[in-house]
Amino acid sequence: MLLPKPYPDEAVGSVLIRAQLIYGISIKPMLSWIHGSPTPRSSHSFHLVTEVDRVATLCGMEPREFLYDHTVFPYVTACLPKHYAANLEAKFLGATDAKNFSMASLVGNASQGAPMRRYCLHCASDDLIRHGETYWHRLHQLPTVLICPLHKAPLVQTGVHAGLAHGKASLSLPSPTYVRPVMPPIDMDVALTLARLSEDLLTGRFNRDVDWHESYRQKASAKGLLHHYGDIAGSVSALALSELYGPRYLELLACEVKRPFSGSWPALLLRSSRNQFVSVVRHLLMQAFLDHVRLDDRLRLLIDKVEKSSRTDFDSLDRMAETAMREEIGRHKDAGTRTTVRHLLSITGVGATFRHNRPKMPLSNALLEEFRRSDQSARQLGGNAHWRARTPSRWGLPSARALRAQRNDPPDPSRDA
């Protein structure tokens, strides 16, 4: 028993649906068969799969090729630091169980805002002619794709939940009997930019070495989103971004821009500090915003009105730093890796301020104290490479002398004499 060969850009969920239709079996026996053992599972993600090697082999494909061509993996990892994305890839392609770890958060990135299956009428008719059947395109299910970038047509929103589940509705493929396309809640030009950028990330058509933060800051400054004293106008940018997309779409994507704007996610994304783990959806919203923002008189007035603040707002700095560090610790927890206080402070971008004003930033201080005692602290267990070499006995390792003695084995009898 094999799985059908995936069509171009077919989502993994769609492949599994077609397999069910071909063999006439329900979801549970099919998953048992894929796992090679009885499973209590009766649902499956539409976007990702933990058993990549197994599913890919059954489709007659290389696991890596399958991961990049038929799951949302390249999209959700596109804006992550390179080494972190490579780690995740190794985990997905490896045989360990550790891949269940971040599957949920990765899928969440891709399915938030797109709970129902979507398709393009034009693509569906093309597929019918070309392949004799229709299928669910991976690209059309992405939360930042509201129109088909190929046909520039709004997508049809079906009433079928994206995930694979038990029941007849789950088995459906795109068909003209569904309702009419839904106009996106945002400007069509912006929607098209978002769709094209999403497609670039999904298909890997972008420069992996790009420093996203730096590129946003350059673009923002080229667009005039700058204060007279040279800082990027983060708050006004956040306001303009929230107006461009509207609260409805931002809420759907769980990307609400909350007041005070100075602490909102678009403002933080435009800061010089690096929080490298911003969701791909936020990156895409920022990119399309910077492509489309027009600086009108009202925005210019707002930007000019802001004075450089002479007093440091420790409360909001503290909250911002604490959130950034907590997220980073969580990621290390998920990945089973360790980090240092120094690294945590470096991603907040306010490390020096913190060191000199500890009492004024109690949240961050408490979090770091808690972190020092946790398993995620590199200092706590096992130490770092330098200290392991310097003080081996502390980490339960053989001393340099013992190692030398081991190397000189068998012992020189003349020395004992």
| Sites of contact with Zn ion (CB under 5 A) | 120, 122-123, 148, 150-151
Of 9, 2, 17, 18, the residue nearest 132 (C-alpha) = 18
Q: How near is the Cβ of 104 to Zn ion at its closest, in Å?
A: 30
Q: How far is the CB of 148 from Zn ion (least distance, A)?
A: 3
**Residue keyed to tokens 């609260």:** 247
Cβ closest to Zn ion, residue 148 vs residue 160: 148
Bridge-based pairing of strands 116-119 and 147-148 is unpaired
Which residue number, 151 or 298, has a Cβ lying nearer to Zn ion? 151
Which is nearer to Zn ion, 5 or 151 (by Cβ)?
Answer: 151
Least separation, in Å, of the C-beta of 147 and Zn ion?
9
Nearest to 17 by CA among 9, 32, 8, 27: 27
When the beta carbons of 15 and 120 are compared against Zn ion, the nearer one is 120
| Shortest distance, position 187 Cβ to Zn ion, whole Å | 19
Say whether 77 sits in a helix, a strand or coil: coil
Cis bond before residue 411 (omega within 30° of 0): no
Distance CA 100, CA 30 (A): 20
First to last CA, the chain: 73
Of the pair 144, 279, the CB lying nearest Zn ion is at: 144
At residue 313, the 3 state secondary structure works out as coil
Q: What stretches of 249-307 adopt beta strand conformation (E)?
A: none
Q: How far is the CB of 193 from Zn ion (least distance, A)?
A: 16
Q: How far is the CB of 138 from Zn ion (least distance, A)?
A: 13
> Least Å distance between CB 151 and Zn ion?
4
Query: Residue 293, SS3?
Result: coil
Phi, psi of 24 (to 5 degrees): 65, 40
Which residue lies nearer to Zn ion by CB, 151 or 259?
Answer: 151
**What's the closest the beta carbon of residue 120 comes to Zn ion, in angstroms?**
3
Residues 6+ apart with CB under 8 A from 123: 137, 140, 148, 150, 151
Min separation Cβ 123 and Zn ion, Å = 3
Q: Which is nearer to Zn ion, 150 or 171 (by Cβ)?
A: 150
The residue type at 307: E
Question: Between 55 and 145, whose beta carbon lies closer to Zn ion?
Answer: 145
Q: What is the C-alpha to C-alpha distance for residues 195 and 137, in angstroms, rounded to an integer?
A: 13
- The span from the CA of 381 to the CA of 387, in Å, is 11
What single letter denotes the amino acid at residue 256?
Answer: E
| Neighbouring residues of 339: CB distance < 8 A, sequence distance ≥ 6 | 328, 329, 332, 376, 377, 378
Q: Would you say 140 or 283 has its CB closer to Zn ion?
A: 140
**What is the spatial distance between Cα 288 and Cα 392, in angstroms, rounded to a whole number?**
52
